[in-house]
Chains A and B, each alone.
Chain A
């Protein structure tokens, strides 16, 4: 699946992996969760969606792997609207890391990471090799960690496994929903720095949701600022740091106070 998306993207004329075209999502009662979203995610960039709780950034993320479908407008992944994709195929070609990690508590680390390859019927040996490779990539010695269960890991280790799992089938796109949000500050900044290094070597298209402005400035090649379901700004970290938009200034100021 991942290969197929790669292929389609190679054939596509643009350098754009994900595109939002006038996307609106309303609840059944008519309340807009996100409204009028127009932006694109370019190949290989790390787009950070920044905003307060409830600003619509997680909703935006879930529109990409079709955990949600737009009420209006279209989300294009590899030039194809998500609603035209087979949902299962789409999701298997997009890595997904969420804040609560969602590791399967009854699977070992090995099985958690190897899940999508297993669903894709990779040969056993190839899965094992891939899991070993990924555990080394995220800095967990495979012999020691592969047989463990999630509850035998620390929070930081669990989060590393979560990232490894999302990368397992080598998907071109990675969605990350506040992946480091639940960690203690020291572990968090450790992982952030490590992830920045990792991301630079991976050449993945990454959409990263956070409410931590430092994280946004550290990881993002561009930062999209969300407020009340609207995307109010989209710019590079440098531009963002000097933005005159009140919401952006509020975020920058909050950093100063810390």
Chain B
């Protein structure tokens, strides 16, 4: 009932996500049909190539979806995030079943029928259109069905690159430890897959030629159905195209965790309030997509952390002085990237080494150095970010001389909180401003050897925007220093734990200033 409640309350958003999801699936699979069927047909004319081509499609099929997105980002440049790479990935995944079924379907047409057609003087095209395709239609459609069902599932992952769709709820739910939210994404996606499977299955059995039933399958409505499908795809495409932002929109991005979404909304709202400019929100971009998207001009602003910029992007050895880091980052960003750092918002979101509250009490743990004697019996779980960054795990384990019973498990950051709370791991590296710390009764240990560099949050803007819209910089600079650590944790808590609407939380915050 909670789930249904949630969906009813958020029906506008849920519907939008369902439509986005349908759009992704329809365009990806649609492109797969448009390209895959001709390839399959071509292979029936050049069967020598079939092993090679099917083998290639097979290999493409086995690439994990996140990895595929990763490959596509640099290849596509300014279109590296959002729906374009998602549709391309779904297209690639749909190829194998469609090519394979087209090929085997046409090859499965009775040789006598083909020979009769040839002997009667039908051209190759006539044989294909009038004989082979009609007779293999149900097999081809079975391939389309498989492709569609795969696509509905894979499209949920597209949310990680800002393509929207039902995966948005799933990722958000994972981040916020909210099973209901996960279900709100997963359940409609599953229903969509089942519905697609059922409908295409029906269509397939109607089109299948019944040798024994003695019924002449009525074909009249098939072209009508195909037309409806094409119109639907066309409509969806058009509705996307018409929503391409006009030039005067400021595009605000955010990374894919709650704090970033709040900050993104904070910036967006502030620009709207103070400048009256139109703002487009492109939130929840995974990994370092924000930075790349900013460089590519695909977004105009997002909130970055000085420590991240210093170590992960500029590749400097971490240092501890917050002021020095900010000054250097600001200078190098302007010189190297043409990007402008505005005033820091105030809080410092550094890594927080977290343990369970009861454990902290039992073993009286307060500082990170307290855990070194327990570490050899402990398991650790860290996000990919922490594991790969220069100011992350390698230096951390050296500084505190930590050796765990097994190599730390690398998992999604949002999952580490759960893993810790459930006792699957004993120590994690979370964010110091995370609302989940209080929610799950976790304890942050003090960084007594000052290993972690400062992570001050500040908006980063493209220089062109600052020059063209100086009022934007003014509006955002006036937010400088207004969000304390405590304030940030409180905002995160309201969204993560109280499941409050981000827009509402941000509005309240701004009005309170």
Contacts and interface: CB of A to CB of B under 8 A. Distances in A.
Interface residues of A, number: 30
A96 B134 contact: no
Contacts of A189: none
Contact of B209 (A88, A92, A106): A106
Interface stretch (B32-40, B120-128, B432-440, B453-461): B120-128
B118 A67 contact: yes
A89 interface: yes
B216 A96 contact: no
A92 B121 contact: yes
B123 A106 contact: no
Interface in A95-115: 96, 98-106, 108, 115
A159 interface: no
Given A67-B118, A115-B120, A102 B113 contact: yes
> Helix, strand, loop or mixed for chain B's interface?
helix
Given A149-B216, A151-B211, A152-B214, A104 B117 contact: yes
Contacts of B216: 108, 147, 149
Contact of A98 (B115, B123, B212): B115
B26 to A, nearest CB: 28
A91 B118 contact: yes
B116 A96 contact: yes
A151 B126 CA distance: 23
A64 to B, nearest CB: 10
Given A89-B121, A119-B121, A106 B115 contact: no
Contact of B113 (A90, A105, A108): A105
B116 A106 contact: no
Contacts, number: 70
Contact of A106 (B118, B119, B120, B134): B134
Contacts of B324: none
Interface residues of B, number: 23
B112 interface: yes
A67 B118 CA distance: 8
B135 interface: yes
Contact of B112 (A1, A87, A98, A106): A98
A206 to B, nearest CB: 15
Interface string B97-129: 000000000000010111111111111001000
Contact of B122 (A89, A119, A175): A119
Contacts of A101: 112, 116
A88 B135 contact: no
B131 interface: yes
A119 B129 CA distance: 13
Nearest to B134: A106
Interface of B: 110, 112-123, 126, 130-131, 134-135, 209, 211-212, 214, 216
Which 8 residue pairs are nearest across A and B when measured between Cβ atoms?
Answer: A102-B116, A91-B121, A100-B112, A92-B121, A96-B119, A102-B112, A88-B121, A106-B134
